[in-house]
Structure 1
Amino acid sequence: MTRYEDLPYRTCVGITLINSEGLVFIGRRAGGIEHVDDTHVWQMPQGGVDPGEDTWEAAKRELYEETSVRSVEKLAEIGDWLTYDIPRTVAGRAWKGRYRGQRQKWFALRFTGTDAEIDVERPGGGHHKAEFISWRWEPMKNLPSLIVPFKRPVYERVVKEFTTLAGS
């Protein structure tokens, strides 16, 4: 078995979906071994980049597969790749033990549709299992306190980079 320190990061995208009121979409995770309490089960959409896939295309695909949302305009992206390590206690069980964490390219998108477009229970793209069991709009400044602690530095950076886009 590969040592934790030698495991690669999974290449992913993250999406900060901002509505016309400057609030951000967050979804309540349907599950996951890394979620240890009821407070830190919320997150923004995110997911893996397929081999050879452009990160912007991956972001739009992941957003649709997790929320059914297609009505968006790209506002910005963070130039750097942001990384986090999953706790060692769950690393062997998450992603079949192949990764130590994720390296993520983050995008800010303006939601141009209506809330009726959002469907986390039956998301688009034939996604076999829903990622979220519920969702809500949240002020951007609150996001870091809602995510599992090991992802918090990434969320703090995303908030720092995108706060002005939300009008906060």
Structure 2
Amino acid sequence: MVDRSHDRTRALVDRLLDDPLTQLAMQADGVDRETMRKMLVKASLAAPAQRQLAPHGYRPGVGIVLFNRDGHVFAGRRVDVDHEAWQMPQGGIDTDESPRDAALREIREELGTDKVEIIAEAPDLLTYDLPAHLVGVTWSGGWRGQRQRWFAMRFLGEDDDINVATDNPEFSDWRWVELEDFPALVVAFKRDVYQRIAEQFAEHRSQ
């Protein structure tokens, strides 16, 4: 009897690599297609008991709602993603780094500017779960999703001060959008977080 399990695994991995959510995760982690392929194959061929083990928890991170003077918010288009995928600045918290420091660092790294001020902090941590096929694969494995501390910031500069063409760009384009329109722009598994943030920070849109 011919064992075609490896053929099925390769076909599944090819479908996953073409999935827009997988491409987003690859970009977020700086993982190329071949490296992700090897990780997915390894996960698929693991013993069933190992595949069922849940990751240890949620990756600690931050997110930023950046308002301009008109009350619109920054939206960045994810770089190297075939379809339109927009998000707010966000990222992980480094060891021995406070959430506030992490949020300010992410603004510098992703937008190329430090002309911002923190105007509010969300009262609760917000969590999202990764799709099942990305659990244990993204962020070097070990995480089922992200638990984020969100901040509202005011942009103090001019549009020309924003430069998303940084050394390690996260965004290929950017624009200002209405806060309440943002949830419809993001990938589905992050939408609930964005909806809650839009509700919590709505009062800060005006100066």
TM-score scaled by structure 1?
0.87
Q: Counterpart of 1:20 in structure 2: which amino acid?
A: R
- Correspondence for 1:153: 192
Specify which structure has the bigger relative contact order, considering alpha-carbon pairs within 8 angstroms and separated by 6 or more residues: 1
Question: Which protein is richer in strand relative to its size?
Answer: 1
Deviates more, 1:92-101 or 1:138-147: 92-101
For residues 165 and 196 of structure 2, what CA distance do their matches in structure 1 show? 29
- Long gaps (5+) in structure 2: 1-49
> Is it true that 1:87 corresponds to 2:126 in the alignment?
no
TM-superposed deviation, 1:47: 0.4
For residues 153 and 87 of structure 1, what CA distance do their matches in structure 2 show? 14
Q: Say how many residue pairs are matched.
A: 157
- Correspondence for 1:18: 67
Match of 2:174 among 135, 138, 161: 135
1:87-109 Cα shifts (integer Å, max 9, x gaps): 01122432122211100000000
Q: Counterpart of 2:61 in structure 1: which amino acid?
A: C
1:67-97 Cα shifts (integer Å, max 9, x gaps): 0121111110102110001101122432122
TM-superposed deviation, 1:2: 6.7
Larger Rg: 2
For residues 10 and 73 of structure 1, what CA distance do their matches in structure 2 show? 25
Match of 1:68 among 95, 99, 112: 112
- Correspondence for 1:125: none
For the 8 Å contact 1:64–1:70, the answer to whether it is kept is yes
Deviates more, 1:4-13 or 1:64-73: 4-13
Match of 1:43 among 79, 82, 87: 87
For the 8 Å contact 1:16–1:107, the answer to whether it is kept is yes
TM-superposed deviation, 1:4: 5.3
Across the aligned residues of Structure 1 and Structure 2, the Cα RMSD in angstroms comes to: 1.6
Identity among equivalent positions (%) equals: 45
Given the superposition, is the C-alpha separation of residues 129 and 21 from structure 1 closer, same or farther in structure 2, using an over 3 Å criterion? same
